[in-house]
Amino acid sequence: MIFIKLQGFEYGRCGNPTRKCLEQCLASLEGGKYALCYSSGLSAVMSVTHLLSTGDHIICFDDVYGGKFPIIWLLFKLLFLKQMVWLETPTNPTMKLADIAAVAHIVRKHCGAFLVVDNTLMSSYFQRPLDCGADISMQSLSKYMNGHSDVMMGALITNQFDVWKKLHYIQKTLGAVPSPFDCYLVNRGLKTLSVRMEKHMQNGLAIAMFLESHPLVQKLIHPGLPSHPQHVLAGRQCSGFSGMVTFYIKGGSKETEEFVKHLKLFTLALSLGDVESLVEIPSIMTHASLSKKERDLLGITENLVRLSVGIETTKDLIEDLDQALKRSCKKLSTP
């Protein structure tokens, strides 16, 4: 019998040099030891749920990305003696914050429990969940980390070898892995991460302050402003803010849809974190799978608008928002 000991990379699904480079970079950015990349953000979510067994439980924030609901509440509600606590902070789209360190402190008191934090809306540049006590940090790399809307990918980062070992086995077994070229593209995007995120923050804050004082805006939500009820927490666990801005337009579904139609620089899209500015109406797009009652409880009403502010000229973006608001709310803006 001949025994062959394989050196390095043995099969594309199990690993390749480009993916290894990206995973090492991601681990470093989040202050972690290990990282694993997946073919999408939801593949990463699906993979981490495979750490659970029959009889286990998931505790999840009420307001999370719409795509997680089918996985967590429908596909796995009958499968789940571990307990996984899932946080998204800030939440998508209502920008609620969770105190990662406080939750981690509680989770550590329960044997077998572990904490996963979705860090997509902040990126590794502005928030590092592992430093706050999380066991696993999850991201959709399709968003800010890549930054160019030309890749679909997810990642899980941890400091715990036993967790990484299990996830690595799951990664190889399920095969939901990204291609080497996609990994190359994210490696490319990470080279400009700091420059992009600083500009996203600058534009996001400027637009948030503009909208907060606009007569046709009912309410503005941005954790970087003192008006946010968790502004102090945001300053404690985040080093800055991304370009995510959420607001309620005065009026209803008609005014909201007209506003989106009149925008010239903001592209209607489900995604976020692109260098180009994007806009969406969560009630009929990302969170359409929820019932109206569920959406209303979460504050995802028909007049809620989510902006993913890009890195274009600040003045141009503000002027575009202003003209679209005035054109869509003519009756409301008329004395």
Our CA angle for 220, 30, 70, nearest 5°, is 60
Phi, psi torsion values for 137, nearest 5 degrees: -110, 130
Task: Return the bridge partners of 116, or none.
Answer: 86, 136
CA atoms within 13 A on the CB side of 79: 13
Q: Catalytic residue among 19, 38, 63, 118, which?
A: 118
Are the CB atoms for 250 and 303 separated by under 8 Å? yes
Mark whether 143 is an active-site residue.
Answer: yes
DSSP 101: H
**What's the rounded Cα separation, in Å, for the pair 251 and 260?**
13
| Beta strand 267-268 pairing with 278-280 | parallel
Residue among 126, 87, 98 nearest 242 (CA): 126
> For this structure, is 13 an active site residue?
yes
- What's the DSSP call for residue 264? S
328, containing H or E segment: helix 314-328
Question: Residue 57 pairs with which residues in a beta bridge?
Answer: 83
**Whole-angstrom distance, CA of residue 153 vs CA of residue 146:** 9
CB-based contact 54:80 (threshold 8 Å): yes
What's the CA gap between 240 and 200, in Å, rounded?
10
Catalytic choice (38, 65, 144, 248):
65
Q: What angle do CA 307, 31, 244 make, to 5 degrees?
A: 5
128 counts as catalytic: no
Residue 125 annotated to the active site: no
Q: Are 52 and 82 contacting, i.e. CB atoms less than 8 angstroms apart?
A: yes
Catalytic-role residue among 19, 143, 196, 250:
143
Q: Which residues are part of the catalytic machinery?
A: 13, 65, 118, 143
